[in-house]
């Protein structure tokens, strides 16, 4: 990627060939991913020599457009195409979108759903109510319209219906109260070797706040650069 910007009086061009792209999940609170702990993750990787990209999917944070899972897929495809080498790190729904992308060098899928079965009506009603109350998703219409569209789009994007990927790290907390632990094990079985599963003992859904998880993701990227492979660990 070539990025032109002004720094003081000077025109500057940044050339970045390799990057970690961090994909947020469905936002629970208002604000940009850049204003949340995702930006701290970007600092973690950049301090270790890998450029990191944090962004808001369409219909969230400071980005334009209305919320749509298929728009999220388009967003990420566009970003990935701007780099020669990409390492995708996706949290929850962001992991689902990351797993749809075909040309990433590595995938780190964290606390993400695998199958369509977890998005039952009660689950979607909670997502909708929170989005309306806290205005976290733009462009929503009626509850019934939201549920119908969400189910249709997730059916297309669900990892269980996607082509299995290689170089996949799956991280899931044993005590995830939102996406059951079994979803992570199913996603791991679906992926092709080389792959790795990380079981976070006592881990909940919000694993982005665990520094050890970031360290595991960084180690996975380094392993793939050096051709190493270990299939399962427990934190």
Q: What does pTM read for this prediction?
A: 0.94
Q: What is the spatial distance between Cα 168 and Cα 196, in angstroms, rounded to a whole number?
A: 6
29, burial (CB in 10 Å: exposed 0-12, middle 13-18, buried 19+)? exposed
pLDDT at 191: 98
Residues of the chain with pLDDT under 70: 228-231
130, burial (CB in 10 Å: exposed 0-12, middle 13-18, buried 19+)? middle
pLDDT at 111: 98
pLDDT at 108: 98
Question: Domain 2-234 falls in which CATH fold?
Answer: Rossmann fold (3.40.50)
pLDDT at 171: 98
């Amino acid at each position: 990627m070539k990025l032109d910007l002004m720094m003081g009086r000077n025109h500057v061009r940044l050339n970045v060939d390799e990057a970690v792209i961090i994909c947020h999940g469905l936002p629970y609170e208002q604000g940009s991913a850049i204003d949340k702990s995702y930006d701290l993750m970007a600092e973690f990787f950049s301090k270790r020599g890998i450029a990191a990209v944090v962004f808001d999917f369409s219909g969230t944070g400071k980005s334009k457009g209305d919320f749509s899972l298929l728009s999220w897929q388009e967003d990420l495809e566009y970003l990935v195409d701007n780099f020669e080498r990409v390492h995708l790190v996706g949290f929850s729904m962001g992991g689902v979108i990351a797993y749809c992308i075909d040309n990433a060098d590595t995938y780190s899928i964290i606390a993400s759903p695998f199958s369509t079965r977890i998005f039952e009506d009660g689950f979607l009603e909670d997502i909708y109510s929170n989005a309306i109350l806290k205005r976290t998703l733009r462009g929503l219409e009626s509850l019934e319209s939201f549920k119908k569209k969400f189910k249709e789009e997730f059916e297309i994007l669900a990892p269980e219906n996607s082509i299995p990927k290689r170089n996949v790290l799956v991280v899931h907390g044993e005590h995830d109260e939102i996406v059951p632990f079994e979803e992570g094990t199913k996603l791991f079985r679906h992926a092709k070797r080389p792959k790795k599963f990380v079981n976070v003992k006592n881990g909940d859904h919000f694993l982005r706040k665990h520094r050890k998880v970031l360290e595991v993701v960084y180690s996975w990227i380094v392993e793939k650069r050096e051709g190493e492979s270990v299939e399962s660990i427990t934190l």
